[in-house]
Amino acid sequence: MSHAIDFELPYPGALNLAAERLGTQVLSCSDDFFASKDNLIKSGRGIFIADKYTDNGKWMDGWESRRRRDGGYDWCTVRLGAPGRIDFIDADTNHFRGNAPASVSLDACYCLGEPDAGTQWTEILPKTSVNAHSQNLIKVDSADNWTHVRLNIYPDGGVARLRVYGSPQVDWSRTLPGELVDLAAIANGGRALLCSDMFFSDMQNLLMPGRGVNMGDGWETKRRRGPGYDWLIMRLAAPGALQKIIVDTCHFKGNYPDRFSLEGAVAADPNCTDADSLKALEWRTVIAETKLHAHREHLFMDEIQDKATAFTHLRLNIYPDGGVSRLRVLGYPK
């Protein structure tokens, strides 16, 4: 039996493919008598309310099965919000102190519909011991792409949250000729790599699905007191020719940027993430410095100066500082 690795995050900028905000769904489980399977993918690490009970027993913020007496084990099936390669999982047993499972394993499958009795599952993580009331970060040795996972717990008990860290993988051959794709979307493989500042909220929020739910659900920098401006560099999901740009300042009413500009670059290595190499790329103007407004979606088409080049990276500049909720980069993957 292997053992969980003891550290907080598997690698910088790790993406949770099982995040609820990506559209992840918990499909089924063997048993969730004490606490609902749907809690497994919620944000945060889970909370504990000492005096809160339900008709079935203690209320717990996670997935918890009853005590097994038959020698079997419990399981829960999850459809990933973004199909892709899986590098690590975190079976977080936060607040499960006397009722955590002794060990876990993980099966995965790739299917365009939903798993059924005929689905072929592959074990990608063998039975691994876990600790109670802990983040249990475990490396997964698999180079394949997966759409669904099945978490097995031995023999029973509670897991507060399941995180499935990896890289989204999109089959671009399934897009129609002439179909516009959001090349910046995190679910398609777009990634924010580097920024001047993200004091108030994380740069990855900029590429998340949907509109921001509040001012904290965007990219926001601190108030700039000196010269200059703030910027963010992202890697597109695939090299692409840009046709439509949406800059959304939803919820940013007194702290939106006054102006923005957008630049593009073509890296010899499309997967380039090195900070110095990114800054040294040959950046070309895509949209010149343009006025922004509060709490509004801004659509740009005619303003795009180069619709032919297949850019690999973009740099969003905001003047002088502030917050942007979402950036949509619609184009044709090359």
Q: Mark whether 221 and 264 lie in a shared domain.
A: yes
166 is written with which tokens? 């990896």
Q: Which residues contact 52 (CB under 8 A, 6 or more apart)?
A: 58, 59
Q: Across the chain, how many H-helices and E-strands are there? A: 1, 23
104 is written with which tokens? 């876990």
- pLDDT band at 271, cuts 50/70/90? confident
Q: Mark whether 301 and 279 lie in a shared domain.
A: yes
Q: Mark whether 209 and 270 lie in a shared domain.
A: yes
CATH number at residue 254: 2.60.120.260
Domain that holds residue 279: 172-333
Show the DSSP H helices in 61-142 as ranges: none
Judged against a pLDDT cut of 80, whether residue 169 lies above it is answered with yes
Amino acid of residue 137: L
Q: Which of 151, 168, 185 is the last residue of a domain?
A: 168
Rg (CA), the chain: 22
Query: Distance (Å, rounded) from C-alpha 13 to C-alpha 297?
Result: 27
Query: Distance (Å, rounded) from C-alpha 327 to C-alpha 308?
Result: 20
Judged against a pLDDT cut of 70, whether residue 44 lies above it is answered with yes
pLDDT of residue 177: 87
- pLDDT band at 273, cuts 50/70/90? confident
333 - beta bridge partners?
240
Q: Mark whether 110 and 180 lie in a shared domain.
A: no
HSE-CB of 230 using CA atoms within 13 angstroms: 23
Q: Mark whether 154 and 187 lie in a shared domain.
A: no
Q: Mark whether 176 and 164 lie in a shared domain.
A: no
Q: Is 121 exposed, middle or buried (0-12, 13-18, 19+ CB in 10 A)?
A: middle
Amino acid of residue 157: G
Residue-averaged pLDDT of the chain? 95
Query: Strands 284-291 and 219-220, how do they pair?
Result: unpaired
Region 97-102: mean pLDDT is 98
Q: Which of 168, 196, 231 is the last residue of a domain?
A: 168
- pLDDT band at 160, cuts 50/70/90? very high
pLDDT of residue 323: 98
Q: Mark whether 90 and 225 lie in a shared domain.
A: no
For the whole prediction, is pTM greater than 0.85? yes
88 - beta bridge partners?
139, 165
Region 88-106: mean pLDDT is 97
- pLDDT band at 7, cuts 50/70/90? very low
The owner of tokens 């995050």 is 9
Q: Mark whether 197 and 215 lie in a shared domain.
A: yes
Q: Which of 168, 197, 216 is the last residue of a domain?
A: 168
For the chain, the domain total comes to 2
Q: Mark whether 222 and 307 lie in a shared domain.
A: yes
pLDDT of residue 3: 52
Q: Mark whether 302 and 186 lie in a shared domain.
A: yes
Q: Please state which of the ranges 21-30, 97-106, 172-181, 211-220 shows the lowest mean pLDDT.
A: 172-181
